[in-house]
C-alpha cells in the first residue's frame, strides 16, 4: 500500500437543532459531495474483528495506535464495493482502500478466502486484500456485524476539509449477510450524552476532518458552544447488542 498522510478528525454528538443550523451555514460556504442523492447517501458497512474483540476493545480503551477493517458500499449499489482499513495514531487518522467485486465480497463473508492467496501471484495485486487475508488466517479476523446509516457530506477544498452528519444508525446484530438487501437491521442503542436530543433511538454525529489546518470560516460554522469533542464509534455502538 502506498503511504498516506494522516488527517485530523473530531466528532461531536449534536442535536437536531444543531444539525439544522450547521447545515445551513455549510450550504453557504461549502459544497455538497458530488455523490449525494437529495443531499445524502446511505452507507452499509461490514466490520471485522477477532474472537477477542480486539478492534472493539482498543476503541473502548482508547488505545493510541489501532486499526479496523470493513467492507462498504453506498446507496444499495453493490456494483462498487471497497475493502477499507482505518488506522489511528496519536489522534490522527488515515484510510486505505481497494476495490472488491460483489462475488469477492460474498466469498469473504462466507469465510472462503483461499482464492486471495492466488491473487498474490498476479500482476494486479491488492496489498490491502492480502493483509486482510493474512490477518483472517493468523489473527482470526472475521466479519462481525453490519452497520447502516445515513450520511450528509460537505466539502470545503481549502484545507481538504470534509464535514459529515451521520444519523439513523442501525445494526445488523450478528448478521453478516451484508449484500442481502432484505437483511434485517434495528436502530442502534440510544446515545446517552448529556444535552443530546434523540430521534428514533439514535443520535446525530457530526464529524470534521482536515489536513494541516482547519480554515476559520469552517471552524466558525461547526463551532458548538458547551459541547465536548467525543470519541463516538458506530461500530462500538452497534456491538452493544451482542
Residue 203 lies in a domain: yes
Domain for residue 42, yes or no? yes
Residues 90 and 111 sit within 8 Å (Cβ to Cβ): no
Q: 57-101, pLDDT tens digit by residue?
A: 998 888 989 999 999 999 999 999 999 999 999 889 999 999 999
Q: Percent of the chain scored above 70 by pLDDT?
A: 89
Q: 13 by DSSP, 3-state: which?
A: strand
Domain of 172, CATH number, reads: 3.20.100.30
Distance from C-alpha of 203 to C-alpha of 89, rounded to nearest angstrom: 26
| Euclidean distance between CA atoms 232 and 137, whole angstroms | 29
Residue 57: give the domain boundaries: 8-241
Predicted confidence at residue 144, as pLDDT, reads 94
Q: What SS3 state is found at 168?
A: strand
pLDDT for 242 equals: 53
Specify the pLDDT at position 195: 37
pLDDT digits (tens, 9 = 90+) for 121-144: 888 899 999 999 999 999 999 999
Residue 169's contacts (CB-CB under 8 Å, 6 or more residues apart) are 147, 148, 149, 187, 188, 202, 203, 205, 234, 237, 238
Domain membership flag for residue 88: yes
Place of cell 452499509: 44
Please report whether residue 3 resides in a domain: no
Q: How many structural domains are present in the chain?
A: 1
Cross-strand bridge partners of residue 161: 156
Whether 1 maps to a domain, the answer reads: no
Q: What are phi and psi of 79, to 5 degrees?
A: -80, -15
pLDDT reported for residue 192? 41
Q: How many Cα neighbours within 13 Å face the side chain of 184? A: 3
* Domain presence at residue 2: no
Which ranges of the chain have pLDDT less than 50? 2, 191-202
Amino acid at each position: 500500500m502506498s503511504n498516506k498522510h494522516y488527517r485530523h478528525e473530531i466528532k461531536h454528538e449534536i442535536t437536531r437543532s444543531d444539525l439544522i443550523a450547521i447545515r445551513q451555514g455549510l450550504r453557504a460556504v461549502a459544497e455538497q459531495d458530488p455523490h449525494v442523492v437529495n443531499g445524502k447517501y446511505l452507507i452499509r458497512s461490514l466490520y471485522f474483528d477477532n474472537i477477542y474483540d480486539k478492534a472493539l476493545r482498543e476503541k473502548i480503551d482508547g488505545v493510541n495506535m489501532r486499526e479496523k477493517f470493513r467492507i462498504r458500499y453506498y446507496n444499495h449499489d453493490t456494483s462498487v464495493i471497497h475493502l477499507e482499513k482505518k488506522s489511528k495514531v496519536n489522534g490522527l487518522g488515515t484510510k486505505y482502500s481497494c476495490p472488491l467485486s460483489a462475488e469477492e465480497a460474498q466469498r469473504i463473508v462466507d469465510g472462503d478466502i483461499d482464492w486471495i492467496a492466488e491473487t498474490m501471484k498476479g500482476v494486479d495485486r491488492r496489498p490491502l486484500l492480502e493483509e486482510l487475508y493474512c490477518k483472517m488466517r493468523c489473527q482470526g479476523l472475521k466479519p462481525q456485524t453490519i452497520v447502516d446509516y445515513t450520511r450528509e457530506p460537505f466539502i470545503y477544498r481549502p484545507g481538504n476539509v470534509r464535514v459529515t452528519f451521520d444519523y439513523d444508525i442501525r445494526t445488523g446484530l450478528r448478521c453478516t449477510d451484508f449484500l442481502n438487501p432484505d437483511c434485517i437491521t434495528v436502530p442502534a442503542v440510544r446515545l446517552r450524552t448529556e444535552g443530546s436530543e434523540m430521534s428514533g433511538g439514535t443520535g446525530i454525529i457530526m464529524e470534521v476532518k482536515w489536513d494541516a489546518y482547519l480554515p476559520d470560516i469552517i471552524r466558525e460554522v461547526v463551532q458548538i458552544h458547551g459541547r465536548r469533542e467525543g470519541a463516538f464509534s458506530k461500530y462500538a455502538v452497534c456491538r452493544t447488542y451482542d
